[in-house]
């Protein structure tokens, strides 16, 4: 019935003139309902604006999360690129060290990456990614990529090895002043930190500040040194003596940077 009535009204509306009854009713009805229409629009506008704001907010949040994920991926890629570049530089330096005049004759180098550090400041040890399968054995000397003495091998497995550092309290190596020829025993100094000492230096021997200390590398047939000759250890920072002590007090700053060891070189005898 409503559909039929609607068709009749529409037909009559289009057939009558503009001044007809239906047009008049339409105009009057529109005039009466206009305030209600305006009021309804004003009431509905905040809800529409709120919906648009929420839709835009969730879209921006989703886009922000996607950008964060993309940024994180780019950061990880940048870190990987920086790490690869650093390893490349260190390996290049290692190759230069091997071919340079300071590389000890009679030894091969085995380059290995540091894969683990000591758990605290009192454990002066680290683990490298090469072991017995690479001909590495106990007490083999270890240097950094610049050729500065770092320590020696203290434990091995088939694929890894543990390195005891120069800064370990139990470590010692025979050293020599490269300029004056004075011998002594290089070991860790008193207290924490990376300070070394050249011990057992008689008072009548000459050791000067800024002198270079290297491995002594004695080649005695009965008791040969574990370390090749002339591996750089450190630089003398101070020399002192007292009337009571029979030896000089010589402090050394190591040349190796123990805070940034990434690639190490193990010196392996060629005839092994």
Per-residue confidence (pLDDT) for residue 3, from 0 to 100 = 84
Q: Are 250 and 209 in contact (CB under 8 A)?
A: no
User: C-alpha distances in angstroms, 74 versus 60, 64, 86, 108?
Assistant: 21, 15, 18, 40
Q: Are 211 and 235 in contact (CB under 8 A)?
A: yes
Q: Tokens 């068709």 belong to which residue?
A: 7
Q: pTM value?
A: 0.62
1-10, 107-116, 147-156, 214-223: which range is least confident on average?
214-223
Q: Would you place residue 92 in the very low, low, confident or very high pLDDT band (cuts 50, 70, 90)?
A: low
Instruction: Give the whole-angstrom CA distance, residue 174 versus residue 141.
Output: 13
DSSP 202: B
- Using CA of residue 161, residue 162, residue 163, residue 164, what is the dihedral sign? negative
Instruction: Give the whole-angstrom CA distance, residue 267 versus residue 227.
Output: 9
For the domain with range 107-269, which CATH number is right: 1.10.3130.10, 1.10.3720.10, 3.40.50.2300, 2.40.10.340? 2.40.10.340
User: In this structure, what are the phi and psi dihedrals at residue 212, rounded to the nearest 5 degrees?
Assistant: -90, 130
Compute the average pLDDT of residues 194-201: 90
Q: Are 181 and 266 in contact (CB under 8 A)?
A: no
Q: Token pair for residue 43? A: 């009431």
pLDDT at 101 > cutoff 50: no
pLDDT in tens, 233-245: 999 999 998 778 8
- Using CA of residue 209, residue 215, residue 221, residue 226, what is the dihedral sign? positive
Say if residue 242 is exposed, middle or buried (CB neighbours under 10 Å; 0-12, 13-18, 19+): exposed
Nearest to 188 by CA among 199, 179, 177: 199
């Amino acid at each position: 019935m409503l559909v039929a009535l609607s068709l009749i009204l529409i037909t009559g509306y289009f057939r009558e003139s503009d001044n007809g009854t239906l047009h008049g009713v339409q105009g009057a009805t529109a005039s009466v309902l206009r305030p209600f229409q305006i009021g309804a629009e004003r009431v509905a506008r905040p809800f529409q604006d709120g919906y648009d704001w929420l839709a835009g907010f969730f879209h921006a949040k989703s886009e922000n999360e996607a950008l964060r994920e993309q940024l994180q991926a780019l950061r990880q890629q940048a870190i990987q690129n920086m790490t690869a570049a650093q390893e490349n530089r260190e390996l290049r330096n290692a190759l230069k060290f091997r071919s340079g005049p300071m590389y000890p004759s009679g030894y091969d180098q085995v380059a290995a990456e540091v894969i683990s550090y000591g758990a605290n400041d009192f454990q002066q040890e680290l683990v490298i990614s090469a072991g017995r399968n690479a001909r590495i054995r106990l007490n083999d000397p270890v240097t950094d990529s610049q050729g500065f003495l770092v320590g020696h091998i203290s434990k091995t497995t088939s694929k890894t090895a543990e390195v005891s550092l120069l800064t370990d309290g139990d470590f010692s190596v025979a050293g020599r002043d490269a300029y004056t020829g004075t011998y002594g025993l290089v070991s860790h100094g008193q207290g924490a930190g990376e300070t070394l000492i050249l011990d057992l230096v008689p008072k009548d021997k000459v050791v000067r500040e800024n002198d270079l200390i290297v491995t002594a590398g004695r080649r005695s047939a009965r008791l040969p040194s574990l370390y090749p000759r002339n591996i750089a250890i450190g630089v003398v920072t101070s020399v002192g003596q007292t009337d009571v002590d029979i030896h000089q007090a010589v402090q050394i700053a190591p040349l190796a940077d123990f805070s940034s060891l990434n690639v190490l070189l193990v010196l392996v005898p060629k005839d092994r």
